[in-house]
Amino acid sequence: MEKTFLMVKPDGVQRNLVGEMVSRFERKGFKLVGAKLMQMSDDMAKTHYDEHQDKPFYGELVEFITSGPVFAMVWEGENVIAIARDMMGKTNPLEAAPGTIRGDYGMTVGKNIIHGSDSPESAEKEINLFFQDNEIKTYSKQDSEWIY
Ligand code: GTP
Ligand code: MG
């Protein structure tokens, strides 16, 4: 089954949105297979955001994501990568539709609450960057036959 990496950013943690973020993906029907509250190192942040290293906001991005704890998660489900991105909404909260996470909670592009992998390749890279194999759990859930 497909997996994606999602992360509540430091603003989401500070604004008490960890529970709400977990709840949204749980209620949708996805399965939580890994999660931890952690502080990203400078090196880790640079690796995570290496695709943006030539952008003018790269320094700000690394500084912000390392400014406080983040809540890193791995979620599993059919088409979870694309569906989670839809649930997050557009990158800039000003353009994100109401009902999406960024539409409901975000105000600025820098502090947009949540990160989500944008492709199978980035999901694999990000899951491996944040989690050891033994931190990802394989289990069946009793509700799966009611979801699929
Ligand atoms: P992520 O899931 O966080 O990767 O968001 P995204 O895939 O929707 O956006 P993208 O990968 O293009 O950019 C990564 C992050 O950089 C965004 O989530 C924003 O927080 C931040 N970002 C993007 N554009 C800007 C910008 O113009 N200014 C600032 N300050 N931050 C930006
Ligand atoms: Mg991105």
Q: What is the pLDDT of residues 23-52, one digit of tens each?
A: 999 999 999 999 999 999 999 999 999 999
pTM (2 decimals)?
0.96
Report how far ligand 2's centroid is from the alpha carbon of 126 (Å).
11
ipTM of model over 0.90? yes
48 among known catalytic residues: no
Q: Report which ligand 1 atom has the smallest distance to the Cα of 118.
A: 7
**138 marked among binding-site residues:** no
Helix orientation angle between 80-88 and 18-28, rounded to the nearest 10 degrees: 130
